[in-house]
Amino acid sequence: MEKQQIQNAISDMSDIIVDNTTISTQQISNHANGSVFDMFWNSGFIVKIVMLTLVAASIWSLTIIFSKYIKIKNLKLAANSFENKFWSGVGLETLYYEIKDSSFDPLSSIFCAAMSEWERLFSKSKGVFSSEQKISKIIQIKQIMQITINKEIEDIEKNMTFLSTLGTNGVIIGILGMVVSIMDGMKTIGITQAVGMAAVAPIISESLFTTALGIFVTIPAAVMYNKLSSDINKYTSRLETFSEEFSSIMTRQIDEY
């Protein structure tokens, strides 16, 4: 009787092991043959949130990257066009009246802001300046140009913080998804009592996919943030250089009065 009970117990345990192995084999087969979407739907709720967050962040970062790249390129072309007109020898007032109603790029906006302030100060003083007034007006014009530069650069740098944050923390978000995925997988193994690579492989696959997604999102954001930041810094230097050059021209003109 005892021998029969032992044989029955061994048989039942064998059936459980076979069933669990069959279930695990089915899971690994689904993961191996399934698509990325199957992996997404088979993942846990938190892992889904992490994946969706990374995908949404990737789409938004690519949108920012392309829009910034095109904008900076257009600003450089507009700056070249304006500087060609500015240094062509045309009168400052002639150039001002030509572009004041259509100054959309920062360089021409700085020029128009300075010329507008110059006209206001000139009409107010009726062209007569004392030495103190000359210094004061030069300072005012420089301040107007610097304020305009700050406003224009602030607009250009909009959303750059997001790229910086994503380029720094995208991998961490992916690792968070990996950890949660492993935790969920371990709970599932504990419940089903599944054993072997057939049980572990789907967990590893899902966790590595989440990590890879984080890396995929992070690399373009980090690389393009550095590239765009460099371009913006160069453009800012160009604006400040023009501001200094134009300040010198305005100083000479004021000294003539």
189 vs 108, higher pLDDT:
108
Between these two residues, 16 and 122, which has the higher pLDDT value? 122
* CA atoms in the 13 A half-sphere facing the CB of 121: 22
Q: To the nearest whole number, what is the mean pLDDT of the chain? A: 78
Split at pLDDT 50, 70, 90, the class of 220 is very high
What pLDDT score does 12 carry?
47
Mean pLDDT of 228-247: 92
Domains: count for the chain = 1
> Token pair for residue 30?
């689904």
Is a pLDDT exceeding 60 seen at residue 11?
A: no
**pTM recorded for the entire structure:** 0.74
Q: Which two tokens stand for residue 140?
A: 């005012």
* Nearest CA among 65, 71, 97, 72 for reference residue 238: 72
pLDDT digits (tens, 9 = 90+) for 74-111: 999 999 999 998 888 888 888 888 888 776 788 888 98
Domain interval for residue 244: 2-255
